[in-house]
Amino acid sequence: MKTIDKQIERLVADSLPAYSYIFANWYDASMIADRVQLPAVVHILPVSGVLEKEVFGWSDTERVGIAFVGKVPKDATGQEERDVFEAQKTAARTFIAALNASGVFDSVSEINYTVLYDRLTSIVTGVFLEFDLTLSDCE
């Protein structure tokens, strides 16, 4: 059975091989981030979605939240935070390009993001994307 999280994990491995992958809620992701190699992609458990019956099967649309995070030094300067944030935004663009090219999901074009500072217990900075992602034929 195809699931959105398994497809995202595969895409991360293929498009960002230097990144660790975490699939969890924010609390657990924070604990896991302390034990994995950074940078990492943090895929947060979805809170909502839509299942739709189509002519030849089902589609599943989830409101996904995916963070791209990198380590920053303790007491990092604004420029150090900015450098890591920009690197993570570049990684996010690489991932979205791979997602759109995969043919697995409906294409995504407009993505809201939030800059992360001190969101996890690790000292990380990054970008958190939120968007609707549709996987067709997911029976």
Backbone φ, ψ for residue 126 (5° rounding): 180, -160
Domain 4-136 has CATH 3.30.70.1700: yes
Helix, strand or coil for residue 119?
A: coil
Global confidence as pTM: 0.89
Distance (Å, whole) CA 137 – CA 106: 11
Give the model's confidence band at 17: pLDDT under 50 very low, under 70 low, under 90 confident, else very high: very high
Q: Measure the N-to-C terminal CA separation of the chain; round to a whole number of Å.
A: 6
Q: How far is CA 19 from CA 12, 22, 45, 109, in A?
A: 7, 10, 18, 23
Arithmetic mean of pLDDT, 31-47? 91
Q: What is the pLDDT of residue 138?
A: 60
Quick: pLDDT tens for 94-113.
999 999 999 999 999 889 99
Max mean pLDDT range (43-47, 63-67, 81-85): 63-67
Distance (Å, whole) CA 7 – CA 112: 21
Whether the Cβ atoms of residue 15 and residue 94 lie closer than 8 Å to each other: yes
Arithmetic mean of pLDDT, 47-67? 87
Arithmetic mean of pLDDT, 13-30? 94
